[in-house]
Amino acid sequence: MKKNVRLLLVENVDNLGIIGDVVTVRTGYARNFLLPRGFATSPSEELLAGLAARRAEAQRELAALRKQREDLVKRLVGLEMTVERSCNDQGILYGSVSQHDLAQALTSQGYAVKAREIRLPQVIKRTGDYDLHVKLDNDLHADIRLHVKADRVIHTDARDEMEFDNEGNLIERKPKAEKPAAEAKPDEKAPETADAAAKTDKPRADRPKTDRPRPDKADRPAKKDKPTRASAFEALAVETTKGWGFAGKSDNPAPDAAPTKGGKKGKKG
């Protein structure tokens, strides 16, 4: 399938051509817009001859329209317009000012401008001044000044408390860090704290002295030596030997001879 096709315009099409023009357009644009709406058809010599009269009339209309637009651009250059809208105390509009609203305002003042011919620098959501660009043709354009005002008196004190960007969105401010509490002065201390500080700060010379002499190092009891690792292993070996039945004589003494009758010990028979 070809990407482009040649068609004959049978109606005036904005930004494309007038009646009788043979144009080359994308296949999708032709199939989805021009052909279904009857704005174009396949070119032929018979159709071109039949559209000659209508084409001449369209050219005259186009020349007159061009003259009107040139005059309109001269009138628009340096124009300032004002619109009033409802808003809150911060200047935020209850809705936005659209291209359609501006086109209606200009038309009511005698400027035949369409909504699609107005270029907005941003979404207008708050009161203020804005620069608008009006483009009537590739070489016909003008800049105008727009003043958006509130339909009532705005309390400036309430407005200064909050900040907004150009689109009317609230700018959140970070909360200020609280300052640390000031340290209490020495004179403002609680009674318990003051007494404790007085006891601590008391000089050593004022403390009562005791007559009890301090013991010398020679009089102190000797500390017991802690068992070493070698002695601990030796003790463990002894305990293990006892458990296996290899006890010494001192641990298991020999039993005495069985006593005889009469309580005397003697040899048998």
User: In the prediction, which pLDDT does 183 show?
Assistant: 54
Residue 60's H or E segment, with its range, is: helix 52-76
Within this chain, do residues 45 and 78 fall inside the same structural domain, yes or no?
no
Burial class (CB in 10 A: 0-12, 13-18, 19+), 87: buried
Count of the separate structural domains present in the chain? 2
Confidence of residue 2 (pLDDT cuts 50, 70, 90): confident
User: Judging by DSSP bridges, how do beta strands 40-41 and 124-126 pair with one another?
Assistant: unpaired
User: In the prediction, which pLDDT does 23 show?
Assistant: 93
Within this chain, do residues 155 and 87 fall inside the same structural domain, yes or no?
yes
User: Which pair of structure tokens corresponds to residue 143?
Assistant: 């800049």
**Greater confidence, 90 or 251?**
90
Confidence of residue 153 (pLDDT cuts 50, 70, 90): confident
Range of the domain at 108: 74-171
Say if 125 falls within a structural domain: yes
Say if 256 falls within a structural domain: no
Say if 84 falls within a structural domain: yes
Last residue of a domain, one of 127, 150, 171: 171
Last residue of a domain, one of 171, 206, 233: 171
Say if 115 falls within a structural domain: yes
Within this chain, do residues 24 and 84 fall inside the same structural domain, yes or no?
no
- pLDDT tens digits, 49-74: 888 888 999 999 989 999 999 999 99
Within this chain, do residues 117 and 166 fall inside the same structural domain, yes or no?
yes
Handedness of CA 105, 109, 113, 114 (dihedral sign): positive
Confidence of residue 14 (pLDDT cuts 50, 70, 90): confident
Within this chain, do residues 102 and 13 fall inside the same structural domain, yes or no?
no
Within this chain, do residues 79 and 154 fall inside the same structural domain, yes or no?
yes
Within this chain, do residues 152 and 118 fall inside the same structural domain, yes or no?
yes
User: What are the Cα distances from residue 231, in Å, to 136, 148, 246, 250?
Assistant: 109, 99, 20, 21
Domain of 8: which CATH number?
3.40.5.10
**Greater confidence, 155 or 193?**
155
Within this chain, do residues 43 and 83 fall inside the same structural domain, yes or no?
no
User: What are the Cα distances from residue 40, in Å, to 2, 11, 21?
Assistant: 18, 7, 10
User: Which pair of structure tokens corresponds to residue 154?
Assistant: 């705005």
Dihedrals phi, psi of 2, to nearest 5 degrees: -75, 145
Say if 113 falls within a structural domain: yes
**Greater confidence, 39 or 205?**
39
pTM above 0.75, yes or no: no
Within this chain, do residues 86 and 153 fall inside the same structural domain, yes or no?
yes
Domain of 159: which CATH number?
3.10.430.100
Within this chain, do residues 167 and 78 fall inside the same structural domain, yes or no?
yes
* Residue 58 · residue 26 · CB < 8 Å: no
Q: Which candidate, 49, 42, 51, 47, places its Cα nearest to that of 24?
A: 42
Q: What percent of the chain has pLDDT over 90?
A: 39
Neighbours of 30 (CB within 10 A): 19
